[in-house]
Amino acid sequence: MSNLSFSTFCNWVKFRHLFLLDSLGKTKNMHLTAQQMNLSQPAVSKMLKEIESLLGFDVFERQPRSMVATNLGEHVIRYAHTTLNDADGFIEQIKSLHKGGHGYLKVGGIFASTSVVLPEAILEIKQRYPLLNVEVVEQTSGNLMKMLEEKTLDLAIGRYSEQGQQQNFDFTPLSPENFCLVVNSSHPLSGREDVSLDQLFEWPWLLYPKGTPIRNRMEESFAKAGVSLPKNIVVTISVQTFLELLQRGPMVGMLPSIMVKPHVESGVLSVLNTPLNLVPEYYGILTRKNEKLIGSALEFANILQYNAQQSLDT
C-alpha cells in the first residue's frame, strides 16, 4: 500500500475525484461516467488510476463489460457518496441563508411519527422560522438509518431495528408507541365485546414485512400467546395500501394507535379487544453517533423532546 496519510489525502483529493468514484460506483461503466463528467474516457481512466495509485489498491475490478467495486473499493465509494451528499446539503443550507432564508432541514420519520409528532413539530418550527425549508421523508427505521449514514437526513424519528445499530447512531427516546388490532366498521368482528384468537385466525391479515419493528412486535405477541402467525396474509410496507385494504376488505391489521385514531373516531375503523398482549415500544430521535446537532436541526430536536414530555405529563 502507498504511504497514504491524512495530509496527503487532503492535499491531493478533489471533489471531481469523489464524483468519479460515486458515478462509477453507480453506473459501473467508464463511458457513462465520462459522459456525466464531460470528459473523455481516457481522461477518466487516467484519473481513476491516479486515485488507485494514491490509495495503493484497486478500487474497481476491470471486467469485460463493467467495472465492479472491490471489497476495499466499496468503502471508498461509500465515503465518496457520503461526502458528496454532505456537500450538497451544505450548499443548499448556505444558499438559503445567504438569500435571507433560515436554511434547510431534512427530517425522516417512521409512519407513526408522521401522523402527529412530526407535523406538530414542523408547524412550531415554521412559526419560529417562516423561511426555513423543511423536507420530510417517510420510511422504515432501517431505511432512515441508512439515509442518516449517507448524510441525506439531518435527523430521524424511529427506533433501532437491528442489533449493532447502537454503534453508529444515538437514540433519544420520545414516547412509547402503543399498538392495536383493527378492522373496518362493517367487519363481522367489529363491535364485539371480546374476540378470541380462533376468531381472529378466520380472517385474512395485513402484515408489515419481516424485520420491521412493528412486525417484530407482532411476532413477539403471537409467540407469548403460544400461537403461530396467520397463514392467510398480505404483506405490505405501504401505509396507504394497508389502510385502503383495511377499509375495503375483511382484513385484520395491527397498527400504531396514534395512526388509526382519526379513522376510529370517524367510525371507519374499529379496535378489537383480543387476548394478545401488544406491548408498547419507544420511538425517538435518531442521529449520527457522536455528531452534535446544530442550528435548525438542534432546535427541531428540542421541540420534539419538549412536546413528547408535555404529552407524557398530561
Instruction: Give pLDDT, residue 196.
Output: 92
Among 3.50.50.60, 3.40.50.150, 3.40.1110.10, 3.40.190.290, name the CATH number for the domain at 179-279. 3.40.190.290
Domain layout of the chain by residue ranges: 6-80, 101-176+282-313, 179-279
CA distances from 174 to 35, 113, 135, 155, 310 (A): 47, 10, 21, 14, 11
Using CA atoms, how far apart are residues 223 and 92, in angstroms rounded to an integer?
48
Instruction: Give pLDDT, residue 35.
Output: 94
Using CA atoms, how far apart are residues 133 and 55, in angstroms rounded to an integer?
39
pLDDT in tens, 179-195: 899 999 999 999 899 99
Q: Quote the radius of gyration of the chain (alpha carbons, Å).
A: 24
Instruction: Give pLDDT, residue 314.
Output: 64
Using CA atoms, how far apart are residues 183 and 202, in angstroms rounded to an integer?
13
Which set of grid coordinates corresponds to residue 266?
Answer: 370517524
Across 212-226, average pLDDT: 87
Q: Which residues is 136 bridged to in the sheet?
A: 107
Residue 117 near residue 109 (C-beta atoms within 8 A): yes
Look up the CATH number of domain 101-176+282-313. Answer: 3.40.190.10
pLDDT in tens, 40-71: 999 999 999 999 999 999 999 999 889 999 99
Instruction: Output b/e per residue, 161-194; b: 16+ Cβ within 10 A.
Output: beeebeeebbbeebbebebbbbbbeebebeeeee
Using CA atoms, how far apart are residues 300 and 293, in angstroms rounded to an integer?
10
Predicted structure pTM score? 0.70
The fold for domain 6-80 equals: Arc Repressor Mutant, subunit A (1.10.10)
CB neighbours of 276 closer than 8 A, spacing ≥ 6? 181, 197, 221, 222, 225
pLDDT in tens, 148-175: 999 999 999 998 888 789 999 999 999 8
Residue 12 near residue 50 (C-beta atoms within 8 A): no
Question: Quick one: three-class SS letters along 185-238?
Answer: CCCCCCCCCCCCHHHHCCCCEEECCCCCHHHHHHHHHHHHHCCCCCCCEEECCC
Instruction: Give pLDDT, residue 215.
Output: 87
Average pLDDT of every residue of the chain: 90
Instruction: Give pLDDT, residue 181.
Output: 94
CB neighbours of 110 closer than 8 A, spacing ≥ 6? 138, 139, 140, 141, 144, 157, 158, 159, 213, 283
Instruction: Give pLDDT, residue 100.
Output: 64
- Beta strands at 104-109 and 155-158: parallel, antiparallel or unpaired: parallel
Helix (H, G, I), strand (E, B) or coil at 239: helix
Domains 6-80 and 101-176+282-313 belong to one CATH topology: no
Instruction: Give pLDDT, residue 213.
Output: 80
CB neighbours of 294 closer than 8 A, spacing ≥ 6? none
Which set of grid coordinates corresponds to residue 74?
Answer: 466499496
Helix (H, G, I), strand (E, B) or coil at 158: strand
pLDDT in tens, 108-119: 998 877 777 899
Helix (H, G, I), strand (E, B) or coil at 19: helix
Is 60 exceeded by the pLDDT of residue 20? Answer: yes
pLDDT in tens, 234-246: 999 888 899 999 9
Dump strand ranges (E) for the chain.
Answer: 60-62, 67-69, 104-109, 133-138, 155-158, 169-177, 179-184, 205-207, 233-235, 252-256, 269-271, 281-288
